[in-house]
Amino acid sequence: MVLLGLVALTAFAIGLPRSEDDSRAEAAPVRRLPPVVDGWTIADTTAPEDVLPSDPRAREVARWTYSKGDRDVFVAIARYRSSGDPEWRPSINQIAPARGASSVRQDRLAINWNGVAAPMNTVTVKNPGRNVSVVYWYQIREQTIADEFHLRLIMLLDSLRRRGQEVWLIRIATTTAERPADFLREFYPQFVKTLSR
């Protein structure tokens, strides 16, 4: 029964209208993110590599540090091809610096925006002397995706239809156990608005 469902889904996806692949698509205007988010201002330093590791699969990566008083929030946004090829899929191993950690805990949270809960993932990495908390999600235009399986299904359907939608991985980190909920509530809608232009 499941096999018949997959065959029917594949036939449906192939029959949908096709558009050009995103390999020639221009980058969305991520560099136009606001320099100030609810009192958080962009600092002169970028997000450190030992807090938000780079993913070599990304086509483009933008990194910032936002500061408010004595608090810092690190932001990394990576753009990927919409291809279902695993070589170009965001790597779950590059989300947080988990190598050598004494413990790694994963969880979910939701940010309410316009009456809708936007799903997000959290990873807390404990190392001797320092904690790193990372909130992350995937974005395809206005669609926020927390589940990797759901992301892979969307990418598979997009590759079958040759749709040119870019995939974004958004990571927001702190070097404390505190989740930056106040920053997220202001940053998230501005980021989605930027991608929707």
Q: Print the SS3 string covering the chain.
A: CHHHHHHHHHHHHHHCCCCCCHHHCCCCCHHHCCCEECCEEECCCCCCCCCCCCCCCCCEEEEEEEEECCEEEEEEEEEECCCCCHHHCCCHHHCCCCCCCCEEEEEEEEEEECCEEEEEEEEEEEECCEEEEEEEEEEECCEEECCHHHHHHHHHHHHHHCCCCCEEEEEEEECCCCCCHHHHHHHHHHHHHHHCC
Q: Give the model's pLDDT for residue 89.
A: 65
In angstroms, the CA 80 to CA 25 distance is 11
Mean per-residue pLDDT pooled into runs of 10, the chain (197 residues): 49 44 45 79 86 85 90 90 64 75 82 80 84 89 83 78 78 83 85 75
When divided into structural domains, the chain yields a total of 1
Task: Please report the pLDDT score of residue 118 as a whole number.
Answer: 83
The whole model's pTM is what?
Answer: 0.78
> Strand 167-174 to strand 130-140: parallel, antiparallel, or no bridges (unpaired)?
antiparallel
The DSSP bridge partners found for residue 116 are: 113
pLDDT of amino acid 86: 61
Per-residue model confidence (pLDDT) at position 87: 65
Residue range(s) defining the domain that contains residue 92: 2-195
Q: State the pLDDT at residue 66.
A: 93
CATH of the domain at 140: 3.40.1000
